[in-house]
Amino acid sequence: MGIVEHPLGSTNAVETGSRPEIAVENPATGEIIATVPNRSASELAEMAARGRAVQPGWEALGFDGRAEVLTRSQKWLIDNQKRIIETIVSETGKAYEDALLAEIGYTAGAFKFWAKNAPEYLADERIRSASPFVKGRKLVVRYAPVGLVGVIGPWNFPLTNSFGDCIPALAAGNSVILKPSEVTPLTSMLLAEGMRECGLPEDVLQIATGDGTTGAALVELVDFVMFTGSTATGRKVLAEAAKTLTPVGLELGGNDPMIVLADADVDRAANSAAYYAMNNAGQICISVERVYVEAPIYDEFVAKVTENVRGLRQEAPTGPGTIDVGAVIFPPQLAIVQDHIKDAVDKGAKVLVGGGSRSDGGRFIEPTVLVDVDHTMACMREETFGPTLPIMKVESADEAIRLANDSFYGLQASVYSKDLDKAEAVARRIEAGSVCVNDCQVNYTALELPMGGWKDSGLGVRHGAGGIRKYTRSQTILVTKFAFGKKDLHMHPYTAKRTGFLGRLLTFVYGRGRSKS
Ligand code: NDP
């Protein structure tokens, strides 16, 4: 068992490595498919030292050199997609298509996006200032890599949710240690191997397989922590990082509402609700977790969703097109989802489809539609993170907005209406970092768009300029080329004459403000 020494000698030691190895299970079959090391704190410290040693060389390659490796990695990913999908499916039990679209599709795009856009997002910025004190000076802001980034990944998207953060961190010139979830480490190991084949220097990206204690130990070894997972663990990471003032990004849970207004295209709204609640078996932070439908179309909407969900196929996946809804990836998640369904039923909800579960070999929750739900039920106010869709009738858009905002979370939401101005006005009143009108989730594929949570859903953003600048330290440089004399007017000693002149100067510069009216 290892102990992490705080670099400044404090006592916040974290114990790790209580199990020497972790067994990796296929959640759709219950079969153990591999074992991986549970990295100890001393191993992590060695990894951190190696990562720091190689980082300057990686940074020195420049944007073009790093982009070459990232672009080759994109091609490697596409060339090896079958093998990667098989690995993802084997450790998650998800449908082949959920791996193809949301993992291969996203990550292939991410390699190219960050290779192409990192130079622009991180280019030196020439600043013009209104301050009279810096007139004539050169003012520059530059973005330097922080050094060593720790990425702590979840189990729902072992490729997208871990490499989606590793890639921009690497593009910025950092080295990275990725701690994948203990239940899905194999995809990360495969990708790291692939990137090395594509020319990523040894130790620039290291995979620290391990459990939660390994994640906790990583926090104080790195210069930035990017965490994706539950709000509860996110708080622990933030508290741990506070001890060393290590900056963090947190992408946490969501309880994403969909609002369907009376003038919506009911078919599109119903198909969207069914798909975006059930894809990846509902194990997506931006999945539709609850729906509010205006009364005039409620019955039609519920009928269409019910028919759609009733037709979904659920089994252990055996290849493309064989199932629609996969397994429950994380063992304790089964009980969470079961509890939410039971809690709703106990409080008066009706199950229209599904409701059952099984854990004989594989772990599955049936795609489930619930009606007669209200906000006393956990499924409406907490993150269920499973293939469930509770639908609630509302009398107005105002009521829908009030209920949508009655949540600790604020990650993502959607609004359906043919009146786009009205829908956008509703979107602007929802407390969430991203809101789609007549769509769901596809905003995540546009890496130009910042993606981050309000309220308990997170801190900071993925994607866009903010999604890479967080892996850097900004440095401001001021260069004085020409100075008037050996000494500036405002320097000591103060004299009444110069003070009078400076006062008149300030009045001249700032005293001419006029109101617009
Ligand atoms: P966690 O937040 O506990 O796990 C996320 C990652 O953090 C994993 O790699 C985990 O390791 C690691 N970890 C665990 N404890 C610590 C710690 N003290 N310090 C640092 N890292 C740690 O999520 P769970 O897997 O427990 O999932 C629970 C809930 O989280 C779900 O019900 C869902 O609501 C939400 N969730 C949200 C996701 C999102 O995309 N925002 C993704 C997954 C879950 P290990 O797995 O080895 O324990």
Residue nearest to atom 30 of ligand 1 (CA): 230
Please say whether the beta carbons of 93 and 334 come within 8 A: no
The two tokens of residue 177 are 């240690």
DSSP string, 430-450: S-SSEEEES--SGGGG-TTS-
pLDDT at 6: 30
Check residue 484 and give its pLDDT. Answer: 80
Residue type (1 letter), 97: E
The answer to whether the CB of 26 is under 6 A from ligand 1 is no
**Catalytic positions, please?**
251, 285
Write out the H or E segment, with its range, that includes residue 499. Answer: helix 496-510
Ligand 1: does its nearest atom lie under 6 Å from the Cβ of 253? yes
pLDDT of residue 10: 31
CATH architecture classification, 256-446: 3-Layer(aba) Sandwich (3.40)
Using CA atoms, how far apart are residues 491 and 109, in angstroms rounded to an integer?
Answer: 55
Q: Is 462 helix (H, G, I), strand (E, B) or coil?
A: strand
Query: If 0-12 CB within 10 Å is exposed, 13-18 middle and 19+ buried, where does residue 232 land?
Result: exposed
Which single residue is written with the structure tokens 């209580």?
18
> What is the distance in A from the centroid of ligand 1 to the CA of 368?
24
Q: Would you tell me how many other CB atoms lie within 10 Å of the CB of residue 145?
A: 23
What the block records as the tokens of 10 is 């404090």
Q: Are 217 and 47 in contact (CB under 8 A)?
A: no
User: Ligand 1, from 230, 240, 381: best to mutate by most atoms within 8 Å of Cβ?
Assistant: 230
Closest approach atom of ligand 1 to CA 284: 40
Q: Are 139 and 476 in contact (CB under 8 A)?
A: yes
Task: Write down the number of H helices and E strands in the chain.
Answer: 17, 24
DSSP SS3 for 435: strand
Report the distance separating Cα 173 and Cα 56, nearest Å: 8
CA pair distance 209, 512, nearest whole angstrom: 63
Phi/psi for 506 (5° steps) reads -60, -40
- pLDDT of 14 reads 41
Nearest by Cα to 503 from 489, 487, 493, 492: 489
Cα dihedral value 428, 273, 390, 96, nearest 10? -120
User: 163 vs 92, 114, 185, 425, CA distance in Å?
Assistant: 16, 12, 12, 35
* 88: nearest Cα among 159, 182, 161, 181: 159
Nearest CA to ligand 1 atom 6: 154
Fold observed for domain 13-252+464-473: Aldehyde Dehydrogenase; Chain A, domain 1 (3.40.605)
Phi first, then psi: give them for residue 354, nearest 5 degrees.
70, -135
Quick check: CB of 233 below 6 Å from ligand 1? yes
CB of 281 within 6 A of ligand 1: the answer is no
Residue 414, phi-psi category: left (phi > 0), alpha (psi -120 to 50), beta (remainder): beta
Residue to substitute in 179, 218, 233, 237 for testing ligand 1 pocket (most ligand atoms within 8 angstroms of CB) = 233
Can you say whether the dihedral through the CA atoms of 198, 202, 203, 204 is positive or negative?
negative
- For ligand 1, atom 14, the nearest C-alpha belongs to 212
Contacting residues for 427 by C-beta, under 8 A, at least 6 apart: 413, 415, 435, 436, 437
3-state SS assignment for residue 21 = strand
Q: Whose CA is nearest to atom 16 of ligand 1?
A: 212
Site of tokens 């004989």: 360
151 Cβ inside 6 Å of ligand 1:
no
**Given this model, what pLDDT does residue 482 score?**
86
- Calculate the alpha carbon distances from 294 to 112, 255, 258, 393 in Å: 42, 20, 11, 6
CA of 118 to the centre of ligand 1 (A): 29
Q: What is the 3-state secondary structure (H, E, C) of 287-338?
A: CEEEEEEEHHHHHHHHHHHHHHHHCCCCCCCCCCCCCCCCCCCCHHHHHHHH
Alpha carbon of 17 to ligand 1 centroid (Å) = 17
- 228 in ligand 1 pocket by Cβ < 6 Å? yes
What's the start-to-end Cα distance of the chain, in Å? 71
Q: How far is the CA of 427 from the centre of ligand 1 (A)?
A: 29
Tell how strand 21-25 and strand 32-37 pair up: antiparallel
Q: Per the structure block, which two tokens stand in for 351?
A: 């199950």
Query: Is residue 410 a contact partner of residue 433, using CB atoms and an 8 Å limit?
Result: yes
Q: Is 231 helix (H, G, I), strand (E, B) or coil?
A: helix
CA of 154 to the centre of ligand 1 (A): 5
Ligand 1 atom at minimal distance to the Cα of residue 251: 41
pLDDT tens for the chain, residues 1 to 517: 233 333 333 333 344 546 789 999 999 999 999 999 999 999 999 999 999 999 999 999 999 999 999 999 999 999 999 999 999 999 999 999 999 999 999 999 999 999 999 999 999 999 999 998 899 999 999 999 999 999 999 999 999 999 999 999 999 999 999 999 999 999 999 999 999 999 999 999 999 999 999 999 999 999 999 999 999 999 999 999 999 999 999 999 999 999 999 999 999 999 999 999 999 999 999 999 999 999 999 999 999 999 999 999 999 999 999 999 999 999 999 999 999 999 999 999 999 999 999 998 899 999 999 999 999 999 999 999 999 999 999 999 999 999 999 999 999 999 999 999 999 999 999 999 999 999 999 999 999 999 999 999 999 999 999 999 999 999 999 999 988 889 988 999 999 999 999 999 889 888 877 665 5
Segment (H or E) for 434: strand 434-437
444 Cα: distance to centroid of ligand 1 (angstroms): 20
User: Where do the structural domains in the chain lie, given as residue ranges?
Assistant: 13-252+464-473, 256-446
Q: What pLDDT shows up at residue 87?
A: 98
